[in-house]
Amino acid sequence: AQKVTQAQTEISVVEKEDVTLDCVYETRDTTYYLFWYKQPPSGELVFLIRRNSFDEQNEISGRYSWNFQKSTSSFNFTITASQVVDSAVYFCALSEIISGGSYIPTFGRGTSLIVHP
Amino acid sequence: NAGVTQTPKFQVLKTGQSMTLQCAQDMNHEYMSWYRQDPGMGLRLIHYSVGAGITDQGEVPNGYNVSRSTTEDFPLRLLSAAPSQTSVYFCASSNVGGEAFFGQGTRLTVV
């Protein structure tokens, strides 16, 4: 079973629209970490945010905001007033204890965001 | 500021050939891992290591081998390349609960 589900395969918006990327995760651990990464067309993976399971405070960074809700096992990402430069594939990831007691991130399949001018 | 250095960036192999993808990190991270990225599949874990001398299998380990003799290095070996191993490979390093730092990726084509 998928540990991290990003149900939206591709989202297309027009510049200046707000867009929310959904992420639903599955874990039995009480201690875990959640991440968002951005992969622009150039291919590198860029870290955006990290959240631990004990910190449900929402976070805002410029046009980016994240909503973490343990009750629904979701960690959604909103881009306000989207720009063409936001066009990328966005990955949500979960880091929990796996066999051997290690924390290794498991990634969702990604959401491709296309922002049209 | 080297971070995670992954080589080569591009590689073309013939079916049956073997090769090693190199990965080195200079952040003294405990954990290192290899992922492959295929269209629509996200990043899938191949193998990982929690420290020198300790490795384990991830989701898609078949056809790959790893070793970790030092904290810094974590090479990935393709034993006998197959077209199904055509993919983009990423090496990553991290500490407990910390974000993963990724290499630039290797685009591998097996013909």
Q: B2-15, pLDDT tens digit by residue? A: 799 999 999 999 99
CB A43 within 8 A of CB B90: no
Cα(B4)–Cα(B36) distance, integer angstroms: 16
Residues of B in contact with A9 (CB under 8 A): 40
Smallest CA-to-CA distance from B32 within B1, B7, B3 is with B3
Beta-strand (E) ranges in chain B?
4-7, 10-13, 19-25, 31-38, 42-51, 54-57, 64-66, 76-78, 87-94, 101-102, 106-110
pLDDT exceeds cutoff 70 at A36: yes
User: Binning pLDDT at 50, 70 and 90, where does residue A102 land?
Assistant: low
Q: Which of A93, A103, A106 sits opposite B96 (nearest CB)?
A: A103
Compute and round to an integer the Cα radius of gyration of chain A. Answer: 14
Cα(A4)–Cα(A80) distance, integer angstroms: 24
Cα(A48)–Cα(A37) distance, integer angstroms: 5
> What pLDDT shows up at residue B10?
97
Smallest CA-to-CA distance from B15 within B77, B109, B81, B76 is with B81
Q: Strand A111-116 to strand A102-107: parallel, antiparallel, or no bridges (unpaired)?
A: unpaired
Peptide bond into B75 cis (omega under 30): no
Say which residue, B50 or B1, is predicted with more confidence. B50
Cα(A18)–Cα(B13) distance, integer angstroms: 44
Average pLDDT for B37-56: 93
Say which residue, A10 or B97, is predicted with more confidence. A10
Q: What is the pLDDT of residues B59-72, one digit of tens each?
A: 999 999 999 999 99
Residue A86 phi/psi, 5-degree rounding, is -80, -10
User: Binning pLDDT at 50, 70 and 90, where does residue A59 land?
Assistant: confident
A43·B54 Cβ contact <8 A: no
User: Binning pLDDT at 50, 70 and 90, where does residue B97 land?
Assistant: confident
Q: Strand B42-51 to strand B19-25: parallel, antiparallel, or no bridges (unpaired)?
A: unpaired
Share of residues in chain B with pLDDT > 90 (%): 88
User: Binning pLDDT at 50, 70 and 90, where does residue B95 land?
Assistant: confident
Residues of A in contact with B33 (CB under 8 A): 104-105
B94·A110 Cβ contact <8 A: no
Mean pLDDT (chain B) is: 94
Average pLDDT for B64-86: 97
pLDDT exceeds cutoff 70 at A97: no
Residues of B in contact with A21 (CB under 8 A): none
pLDDT exceeds cutoff 90 at B89: yes
Q: Calculate the alpha carbon distances from B90 to A44, B34, B98 in Å.
A: 9, 6, 17
